[in-house]
Amino acid sequence: MAFIRWNYGTAFLRCALLLVAGTTLQLTAGGIDGGFLRHPWGIVLAVNYLYLLILAYSYSDRYRWLRTLWDDRACISSLVTLLLLVMVFGLVRQDGAEEGLSGVLGLSRMRSAWAFNIILLYFMTVLGIRAVSDVTALFRSVRSRADGEAPSEYSRVFRRIAVTVIHTAVFLVLLAGMFGAGDRVRCRLTAHQGVPEGMALTDDGRVVGLPFSVVLRKFSIDEYPPRLYVRDMHVGEDSEEFLSVEEEGASASFEGWTFSADTVLDMAGRLPSETVYRAMEHVGAVPAVHVTAVSGLTGETRSGWVSCGSHIFAASSLDLGGGKVLVMPYPQARRYLSEVTVTVDGKATDMDIGVNHPGKVGSWRIYQSGYDTSKGKWSTVSVLECVRDPWYGAVHVALWLILAAGAVMSAAAVSRRRRSGDSGRAVPCGDSGKGKEGGS
C-alpha cells in the first residue's frame, strides 16, 4: 500500500475487485457448498478467524496496510457494497435456477454465491477488527479512570459502551450466520393423525432422520367470517367489494345489488336431493348463508343459499343474472393449530404448535407450516417445518445486546440533554467571572 494512495476511491476499487474475483470463481467453480462448515469445523474455523482478527488489530500500528482493513473508508465502502448486493438479493427471485444470466452469475442463489459471500466476509472482517478496537479503547478508558485520570463525561462513556456493544453484537450475528451455515438443517415433516413420524424431507428431496418422533393428535383451524363476492363468470373475476357475514342481519351494497344475510350456519351440510342447508356436526361441514339480494336498478329480489363447499358437500351460489353470481370462497384461516405428542428417548411430551408459536425440542424448533387444504378444518394432516440451528443461542444473545445498547444510548441522550439544560441556565451578572474582570 506504500505505492497506492488510500482513499475512498481506492476503498471502493477494492470492493469492485473482490466482486470480480467472486464472479470469476462463480463462473469457474460454481456455487459454494457449505458442507465443509459442519461440526466441528465451523467452530474450529470461527476460533481461528477470531484469532486472526485480533492479530490484525495488534499489528495494525506496525503495518499500515492492516489499518486499511478497518478504518472509516473500509467500513463505508464495504457496507455500501453489501447493501447493494442485499438489494439484488431482494429483487432477484431466489429459486436456485442455473439458467439465464442471473443463474450463471449466482444471483438466483445468493446464499451460495461467491461474490456475495466474499463481500459479506470482507464486511464482517472490517466490523470484527473494529469491534476489537472498540473493546480495547473501552478497556483503556476504564483503566485510566481507575488510575485517577480526569474522568470524561458520563454520556460520552455511555455512547462508547453502546457503540462497542452494537458493533460486537452485529459481528456476532454475522459470525454465527456464516460459520454456522453447515450445521443448520431445515426440513418438512408430514404428520398424519395417530401415526408416529420421525422422518422429514429437505427442499432438495433428501431424507433426514429426526432424533424425535411426532404424532398428530388433532388439527384445528380458527377461520375468519365467510365473505360473499359477486363473480363475473365471463372473465372469472370476483368483485373487490364483499359482504362479511359475521352474524345474521349483516348487509352490504355493491355491484348494483343490496345483499343481506337472513340465516347464517357456521357448520352445515346439504344432501344431494335437498335444496336447504341444515346445521350439522359432521366431517366436511361448511359455513352456509341464506342471502336475499335486491337489485338497485329494477328492484328485483332473489334469494338462496350460498356456501363454499368442501370435500364432502358441493358448493352453491346465487345466480344474479347477466353472467354474475354471488359466491363464497373458502374462509381464510385466522389461526391453525396442531396438537402433537413428541417422543424423545422414550419420553413423550404433549405440545401445541401454531403459527408464530413453534415447539422446541433440544436444538430443534418445530413450526406450523401447512395442512391438507382440500379438507380445510377437517384436515387429518399437518405439515411441520423442523429447523435445527445450534448457533441460534449466539444470535439470541446478540439481539438482546443490541436491545441493551439501544437502551444505553437512550440513557446517554437523556443525560446529555439534562447536562445541556443545566449549563444553559441564566447566571446572575454579579457572580460571573467576566463581570468581575471587565467591570469599570
Q: What are the cell numbers at 291?
A: 342471502
Q: What are the cell numbers at 249?
A: 342481519
Positions in the chain whose pLDDT score sits under 50: 1-2, 150-152, 426-440
**Residue 149: CB partners within 8 Å, gap ≥ 6?**
none
Question: What is the C-alpha to C-alpha distance for residues 127 and 134, in angstroms, rounded to an integer?
Answer: 10
Contact status, residue 56 vs residue 64, Cβ threshold 8 Å: no
Question: What is the C-alpha to C-alpha distance for residues 192 and 213, in angstroms, rounded to an integer?
Answer: 12
Please, which residues bridge with residue 304 across strands?
291
Question: What is the C-alpha to C-alpha distance for residues 130 and 136, in angstroms, rounded to an integer?
Answer: 10
Query: What's residue 102's pLDDT?
Result: 85
Q: How many residues does the chain have?
A: 440
For residue 272, whether the previous peptide bond is cis, meaning omega lies within 30 degrees of 0, is no
Query: What's residue 140's pLDDT?
Result: 80
Question: What is the C-alpha to C-alpha distance for residues 225 and 245, in angstroms, rounded to an integer?
Answer: 6
Phi, psi angle pair for 320, to nearest 5° = -105, -5
Query: What's residue 432's pLDDT?
Result: 41
For the chain, the maximum distance between any two Cα atoms, rounded to a whole number of angstroms, is: 114
Tell me, letter by letter, the H, E, C secondary structure of 308-323. Answer: CCCCCCCCECEEEECC
Residue 131's closest CA among 37, 209, 57, 215? Answer: 57
State pLDDT tens for residues 387-428. 988 888 888 888 888 888 888 778 777 767 776 665 555 444
State pLDDT tens for residues 260-270. 999 999 999 98
Query: What's residue 436's pLDDT?
Result: 38
Task: Write down the H helix ranges in 7-40.
Answer: 8-29
Query: What's residue 393's pLDDT?
Result: 81
